[in-house]
Amino acid sequence: MDGSGQNLERRYHLEVWRETVYWMQARCSDLQELDRERDAASIYMEFRLKGIG
């Protein structure tokens, strides 16, 4: 979906992929289960800095 989703967003001004609080929590949880706490912390910090939610 990377290429086609980006093209749809550009052409029709659609928001095909949106990072939500639910997405962030699920992603951080998955990373922690894989012993990737630093990656999880990085995603969390980026999410907070962007003010997404």
Q: Is residue 5 part of a domain?
A: no
Q: Is residue 13 part of a domain?
A: no
Residue 1 has pLDDT above 50, yes or no: no
List the domain range (segments joined by +) for residue 46. 18-53
Q: Look at residues 52, 31, 26, 51 and name the one whose alpha carbon lies nearest to residue 41.
A: 31
pTM exceeds 0.85 for this model = no
The residue ranking higher by pLDDT, 51 or 29, is: 29
Q: Is residue 2 part of a domain?
A: no
Query: What percent of the residues of the chain are helix, what percent strand, and what percent coil, each to the nearest 5?
Result: 70, 0, 30
Q: Is residue 26 part of a domain?
A: yes
Count up the domains in the chain and report the number.
1
Q: Which sign does the torsion angle of CA 10, 15, 21, 23 carry?
A: negative
